[in-house]
Amino acid sequence: MAQPQSYKNHTRFDPPFHFFIIPMLFINLGFAIYATIHSWPYYEHTHLWWIAMSIVFFMIAGSGRSSALRAQDRIIRLEEQLRLADLLADDELGLIEALSIRQYIGLRFASDAEVVSLAKRAVAENLTEKQIKESIVNWRPDHHRV
């Protein structure tokens, strides 16, 4: 049986991205640099183009990954705003607008029993995402984030 999720083990790798794409991009860049150095005086320096394209591939991978993470962050913010709207008293609804997206991301792991008090504390003390996660007593796992 899998170990219950907590602050210490909640981070997750995306195996195709972290263990295949990124290493292959590093190998590609290394090969491009190697080929450029070893063919420098003899060819028309087309290997420089390989280096440039290797860097472009890294930028494409990074841009695609950051776009997906931003979309996930926006969904998390919406989910947590809806959850807080259900749990907060009518006079406390202003708290929803006071939280930052990073604070919402930290709050997603808090149980319903503690999310309201933790959200109030996050606003009052300007807690970071990490501080919020460290403050959670009853961890609510999120196995879908990459």
What's residue 9's pLDDT?
Answer: 67
pTM: 0.77
Binned at pLDDT 50, 70 and 90, residue 12 comes out as: confident
pLDDT tens digits for range 64-83: 999 999 999 999 999 999 99
What's residue 146's pLDDT?
Answer: 67
| Annotated domain spans of the chain | 14-135
3-state secondary structure of 146: coil
Q: Which phi-psi region, left, alpha or beta, contains residue 45 (left: φ > 0; alpha: ψ -120 to 50)?
A: left
For residues 119 and 84, is the Cβ–Cβ distance under 8 A? yes
What's residue 87's pLDDT?
Answer: 95
Q: By CB neighbour count within 10 A (0-12 exposed, 13-18 middle, 19+ buried), where does 4 fall?
A: exposed
